[in-house]
Protein backbone atom coordinates (compact mmCIF):
# COMPACT_ATOMS: atom_id res chain seq x y z
CA UNK A 1 0.00 0.00 0.00
CA UNK A 2 1.43 3.36 -1.01
CA UNK A 3 1.73 6.55 0.99
CA UNK A 4 -0.97 8.01 -1.26
CA UNK A 5 -3.43 5.29 -0.30
CA UNK A 6 -2.63 5.73 3.38
CA UNK A 7 -3.15 9.49 3.18
CA UNK A 8 -6.38 9.00 1.26
CA UNK A 9 -7.76 6.39 3.69
CA UNK A 10 -6.84 8.52 6.69
CA UNK A 11 -8.60 11.63 5.37
CA UNK A 12 -11.63 9.73 4.10
CA UNK A 13 -12.03 7.96 7.45
CA UNK A 14 -12.21 11.39 9.10
CA UNK A 15 -14.93 12.42 6.63
CA UNK A 16 -16.99 9.29 7.46
CA UNK A 17 -16.54 9.80 11.23
CA UNK A 18 -17.65 13.41 10.90
CA UNK A 19 -20.79 12.31 9.05
CA UNK A 20 -21.57 9.69 11.72
CA UNK A 21 -21.30 12.39 14.41
CA UNK A 22 -23.56 14.72 12.43
CA UNK A 23 -26.16 11.99 11.90
CA UNK A 24 -26.30 11.22 15.63
CA UNK A 25 -27.68 14.71 16.16
CA UNK A 26 -30.52 14.31 13.65
CA UNK A 27 -33.78 13.65 15.41
CA UNK A 28 -35.76 10.54 14.70
CA UNK A 29 -38.91 9.28 16.38
CA UNK A 30 -36.76 7.68 19.07
CA UNK A 31 -35.08 9.44 22.02
CA UNK A 32 -31.29 9.15 21.93
CA UNK A 33 -28.73 11.14 23.97
CA UNK A 34 -27.03 12.14 20.69
CA UNK A 35 -29.93 14.52 20.02
CA UNK A 36 -28.86 16.92 22.77
CA UNK A 37 -25.36 15.98 23.94
CA UNK A 38 -23.68 18.57 21.68
CA UNK A 39 -26.04 21.43 22.63
CA UNK A 40 -23.95 24.41 23.75
CA UNK A 41 -24.87 25.64 27.22
CA UNK A 42 -23.83 29.07 28.50
CA UNK A 43 -22.94 28.53 32.18
CA UNK A 44 -22.83 31.90 33.94
CA UNK A 45 -21.31 30.57 37.18
CA UNK A 46 -18.45 28.92 35.25
CA UNK A 47 -18.05 31.88 32.90
CA UNK A 48 -17.93 29.64 29.83
CA UNK A 49 -19.90 27.74 27.21
CA UNK A 50 -19.88 23.95 27.46
CA UNK A 51 -21.54 21.03 25.71
CA UNK A 52 -24.45 19.45 27.57
CA UNK A 53 -22.63 16.10 27.85
CA UNK A 54 -19.89 17.86 29.87
CA UNK A 55 -22.45 19.19 32.35
CA UNK A 56 -24.86 16.30 32.83
CA UNK A 57 -25.60 12.64 32.32
CA UNK A 58 -28.15 12.03 29.58
CA UNK A 59 -30.24 8.86 29.63
CA UNK A 60 -33.23 7.50 27.77
CA UNK A 61 -35.43 5.59 30.25
CA UNK A 62 -38.27 5.39 27.71
CA UNK A 63 -38.25 5.42 23.88
CA UNK A 64 -39.85 8.89 23.83
CA UNK A 65 -38.14 10.61 26.79
CA UNK A 66 -34.66 11.81 27.65
CA UNK A 67 -33.60 12.56 31.22
CA UNK A 68 -30.82 15.06 31.90
CA UNK A 69 -29.22 14.93 35.37
CA UNK A 70 -26.73 17.76 35.96
CA UNK A 71 -23.47 16.86 37.70
CA UNK A 72 -23.70 20.25 39.47
CA UNK A 73 -27.30 21.04 40.56
CA UNK A 74 -26.61 24.80 40.34
CA UNK A 75 -26.36 24.55 36.54
CA UNK A 76 -29.90 23.22 36.02
CA UNK A 77 -31.38 26.62 35.07
CA UNK A 78 -28.53 27.25 32.58
CA UNK A 79 -29.06 23.81 31.04
CA UNK A 80 -32.81 24.32 30.76
CA UNK A 81 -32.33 27.73 29.13
CA UNK A 82 -29.68 26.34 26.74
CA UNK A 83 -31.96 23.53 25.57
CA UNK A 84 -34.86 25.97 25.02
CA UNK A 85 -32.73 28.36 22.95
CA UNK A 86 -31.13 25.58 20.88
CA UNK A 87 -32.73 24.51 17.61
CA UNK A 88 -33.46 20.99 18.90
CA UNK A 89 -37.21 21.65 19.08
CA UNK A 90 -37.74 20.00 22.47
CA UNK A 91 -39.31 21.77 25.44
CA UNK A 92 -37.61 20.82 28.72
CA UNK A 93 -39.48 20.36 32.00
CA UNK A 94 -37.51 20.54 35.25
CA UNK A 95 -38.28 19.33 38.77
CA UNK A 96 -35.25 21.06 40.32
CA UNK A 97 -33.06 17.94 40.30
CA UNK A 98 -33.35 16.72 36.72
CA UNK A 99 -34.76 17.79 33.38
CA UNK A 100 -37.16 15.67 31.34
CA UNK A 101 -37.17 16.08 27.58
CA UNK A 102 -40.30 14.55 26.00
CA UNK A 103 -39.58 13.74 22.36
CA UNK A 104 -42.73 14.49 20.37
CA UNK A 105 -43.54 12.23 17.42
CA UNK A 106 -42.48 13.57 14.04
CA UNK A 107 -45.08 14.85 11.58
CA UNK A 108 -45.00 13.55 8.02
CA UNK A 109 -43.79 16.91 6.73
CA UNK A 110 -41.00 17.05 9.36
CA UNK A 111 -39.93 13.51 8.43
CA UNK A 112 -39.55 14.55 4.78
CA UNK A 113 -37.63 17.65 5.86
CA UNK A 114 -35.25 15.59 8.02
CA UNK A 115 -34.78 12.98 5.28
CA UNK A 116 -33.82 15.79 2.89
CA UNK A 117 -31.44 17.24 5.48
CA UNK A 118 -29.79 13.83 5.95
CA UNK A 119 -29.44 13.40 2.19
CA UNK A 120 -27.76 16.80 1.82
CA UNK A 121 -25.40 15.96 4.70
CA UNK A 122 -24.40 12.85 2.78
CA UNK A 123 -23.85 14.83 -0.42
CA UNK A 124 -21.66 17.35 1.43
CA UNK A 125 -19.45 14.54 2.71
CA UNK A 126 -19.23 12.97 -0.75
CA UNK A 127 -17.92 16.33 -1.98
CA UNK A 128 -15.39 16.24 0.87
CA UNK A 129 -14.32 12.74 -0.29
CA UNK A 130 -13.88 13.99 -3.84
CA UNK A 131 -11.79 16.90 -2.57
CA UNK A 132 -9.52 14.44 -0.76
CA UNK A 133 -9.22 12.41 -3.98
CA UNK A 134 -8.42 15.53 -6.00
CA UNK A 135 -5.68 16.60 -3.53
CA UNK A 136 -4.08 13.14 -3.48
CA UNK A 137 -4.17 12.88 -7.29
CA UNK A 138 -2.55 16.34 -7.54
CA UNK A 139 0.23 15.05 -5.26
CA UNK A 140 0.65 11.92 -7.40
CA UNK A 141 0.86 14.04 -10.57
CA UNK A 142 3.38 16.39 -8.96
CA UNK A 143 5.55 13.45 -7.87
CA UNK A 144 5.30 11.90 -11.34
CA UNK A 145 6.34 15.20 -12.93
CA UNK A 146 9.26 15.48 -10.49
CA UNK A 147 10.20 11.89 -11.45
CA UNK A 148 10.02 10.62 -7.86
CA UNK A 149 7.56 7.90 -8.96
CA UNK A 150 7.17 6.06 -12.26
CA UNK A 151 4.23 6.49 -14.59
CA UNK A 152 3.05 2.93 -13.83
CA UNK A 153 3.20 3.58 -10.07
CA UNK A 154 1.24 6.80 -10.57
CA UNK A 155 -1.44 4.99 -12.61
CA UNK A 156 -1.65 2.18 -10.04
CA UNK A 157 -1.95 4.69 -7.19
CA UNK A 158 -4.72 6.59 -9.00
CA UNK A 159 -6.58 3.33 -9.60
CA UNK A 160 -6.27 2.41 -5.91
CA UNK A 161 -7.49 5.88 -4.87
CA UNK A 162 -10.53 5.46 -7.13
CA UNK A 163 -11.37 2.12 -5.46
CA UNK A 164 -11.04 3.71 -2.01
CA UNK A 165 -13.39 6.58 -2.90
CA UNK A 166 -15.99 4.17 -4.36
CA UNK A 167 -15.91 2.12 -1.14
CA UNK A 168 -16.30 5.24 1.02
CA UNK A 169 -19.09 6.67 -1.13
CA UNK A 170 -20.87 3.35 -0.69
CA UNK A 171 -20.45 3.61 3.07
CA UNK A 172 -21.92 7.14 3.03
CA UNK A 173 -24.89 5.86 0.98
CA UNK A 174 -25.44 3.06 3.53
CA UNK A 175 -25.32 5.51 6.47
CA UNK A 176 -27.79 7.86 4.77
CA UNK A 177 -30.14 5.02 3.83
CA UNK A 178 -30.09 3.65 7.40
CA UNK A 179 -30.73 7.07 8.92
CA UNK A 180 -33.56 7.78 6.45
CA UNK A 181 -35.21 4.45 7.40
CA UNK A 182 -34.83 5.36 11.08
CA UNK A 183 -36.54 8.72 10.44
CA UNK A 184 -39.42 7.02 8.60
CA UNK A 185 -40.05 4.55 11.44
CA UNK A 186 -43.05 5.48 13.52
Which tens digit of pLDDT belongs to each residue from 30-74? 777 777 777 888 887 778 888 888 888 888 888 788 888 988 888
116 shares its domain with 167: yes
Quick one: 138 and 173 in the same domain? yes
Q: 41-45, 113-117, 130-134, 158-162: which range is least confident on average?
A: 41-45
92/111 same-domain check: no
Q: What is the mean pLDDT of residues 94-107?
A: 82
Closest CA relative to residue 36, chosen from 17, 20, 19, 51? 51
User: Where is average pLDDT lowest: 3-12, 26-35, 106-115, 172-181?
Assistant: 26-35
Residues 17, 51: one domain? no
* Residue at which a domain ends, from 55, 87, 102: 102
Count structural domains, the chain: 2
Least confident interval from 24-33, 61-70, 105-114? 24-33
Q: For residue 14, what pLDDT is reported?
A: 92
- Which pLDDT does position 1 carry in this prediction? 57
Question: Which of 79, 102, 125 delimits the end of a domain?
Answer: 102
pLDDT in the model for residue 27 = 66
Q: Are residues 40 and 98 in the same domain?
A: yes
pLDDT number for residue 186: 56
Position 29 scores a pLDDT of: 65
133 and 77 housed in the same domain: no
- How long, in residues, is the chain? 186
Q: Is residue 41 classed as helix, strand or coil in its secondary structure?
A: strand
Range of the domain at 19: 3-24+107-184
What's 56's domain CATH number?
Answer: 3.30.1360.40
Last residue of a domain, one of 102, 129, 150: 102
- 127/148 same-domain check: yes
Give the closest residue to 6 by CA, choosing from 161, 130, 142, 131. Answer: 161
Clarify whether residues 97 and 112 are in a common domain. Answer: no
Residue 167 is predicted with a pLDDT of: 94
The verdict on 118 and 180 lying in the same domain is yes
Query: Do both 135 and 158 map to the same domain?
Result: yes
Assess whether 117 and 80 both reside in one domain.
no
d(CA 18, CA 157): 25
pTM: 0.67
Closest CA to 36 of 59, 18, 16: 59
Q: Give the chain's mean pLDDT.
A: 85
Amino acid sequence: MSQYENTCREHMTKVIEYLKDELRGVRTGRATPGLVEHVKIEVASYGSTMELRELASITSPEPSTLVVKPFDPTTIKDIEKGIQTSNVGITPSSDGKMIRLPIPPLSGERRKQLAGQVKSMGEEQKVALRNVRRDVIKKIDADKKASTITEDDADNAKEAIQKIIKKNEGEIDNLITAKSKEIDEI
